[in-house]
Chains A and B, each alone.
Chain A
Amino acid sequence: KQEVTQIPAALSVPEGENLVLNCSFTDSAIYNLQWFRQDPGKGLTSLLLIQSSQREQTSGRLNASLDKSSGRSTLYIAASQPGDSATYLCAVRGGYKLSFGAGTTVTVRA
């Protein structure tokens, strides 16, 4: 059974600091890994999708890396802003199923 862990569970940083969010998974037989953002009481917004054959994916201030052999992914958010405050979820896809971590709740202080 795939287990996905996100560390830390919560993070508070001053505006402008870079954010580093970690995700680990136990079964390396995955199709891809997806990072989502969730605002309180809202649905999930997809940020980045990394295929199992890729090492990283970038979109604007966001960069995600994937090391499938060690079961790790890292989401980097450069020059954080108060609008980046949200919960970030990591999800790995194996077969039909998407397995989620519990998320990292980020607060960016102005």
Chain B
Amino acid sequence: DGGITQSPKYLFRKEGQNVTLSCEQNLNHDAMYWYRQDPGQGLRLIYYSQIVNDFQKGDIAEGYSVSREKKESFPLTVTSAQKNPTAFYLCASRRDGEYYGYTFGSGTRLTVV
């Protein structure tokens, strides 16, 4: 079955450490997205990519970085510059075109220890 796989499910980060969250899709979707979810708030866009080797900042990109070397993969790195990284991170993808909806992964919960 096609879908989006996020790993790991839980991740713990020490102060000053960079960590990378994995997102892989086998839906042949062109666009991929990273969202952050905090309790009581709507999802906020971190980064998005519409094609391979190209990506744009979303609303809260500071302290995060991404790459898009393959169509199937869009990893997110949470750097030490992100001062409040504890959150639930969701990856999504979508087919190109205005009529298509989004498919989401199962999320990664990141906790600073």
Residue positions of A touching B, CB distance < 8 A: 4, 31-32, 34, 36, 41-46, 49, 51, 89, 91, 93, 96-103
Contacts and interface: CB of A to CB of B under 8 A. Distances in A.
Interface string B66-109: 00000000000000000000001010100000110111111101
Contact of B105 (A43, A49, A96, A97): A43
A45 B50 CA distance: 22
B64 interface: no
A25 B30 CA distance: 27
Nearest to A1: B59
Contacts of A36: 104
B90 A31 contact: no
Given A31-B99, A43-B104, A91-B102, A101 B42 contact: yes
Nearest to B40: A102
Contacts of B92: 44, 98
A100 B102 contact: no
Nearest to B33: A98
Contacts, number: 58
A98 B42 contact: no
A96 B56 CA distance: 10
Given A98-B33, A100-B43, A102-B42, A32 B90 contact: no
A23 to B, nearest CB: 11
Contacts of B42: 4, 89, 99-103
Nearest to B106: A43
A89 B42 CA distance: 8
B45 interface: yes
A46 B104 CA distance: 8
B31 interface: yes
Contacts of A101: 42
A34 B42 CA distance: 14
B53 interface: no
A43 B101 contact: no
Contacts of A43: 6, 90, 104-107
